[in-house]
Amino acid sequence: MSGKINIEVVYALPDEQILFKQQLPESATVAEAIKLCGVLDKHPEIDLNANKLGIFGKLTKIDATLRDKDRVEIYRPLIADPKEVRRKRAEEGRAMKKSGKI
């Protein structure tokens, strides 16, 4: 074995998705992958202490060791709480039914 793994780092904005492919040593961590790929240079707003991170949609820690073909995902903070949005939508729906405007 070559002692290298192939991984991807992805970061998505509302109007742009960025994918970095790179080859790293087998013992590389999530933090090393993010720092080495250059995404922090292009998007300095990313705060590794605040942004959540994942591998294939599952939350992970910054010091997790990567495996070959892993995809590291950097998540942006939510603008609105999804539960709160659904609750407001349900309340609006009930109000519409009561007023007979459906």
Tens-place pLDDT, residues 29-63:
999 999 999 999 999 999 888 899 999 999 999 99
> Is the predicted pLDDT of residue 16 greater than 80, yes or no?
yes
Q: Which residue stretches of 9-81 are H helix?
A: 30-37, 39-42
Residue partners of 7: CB distance under 8 A and separation at least 6 = 21, 22, 23, 24, 28, 33, 66, 68, 69, 70, 71, 72
The CA distance from 72 to 55, in Å, is 5
pLDDT of res. 93:
77
Write the single-letter amino acid at 17.
Answer: Q
Q: Is the CB of residue 75 less than 8 Å from the CB of residue 54? A: yes
pLDDT of res. 99:
65
What's the topology of domain 4-77? Ubiquitin-like (UB roll) (3.10.20)
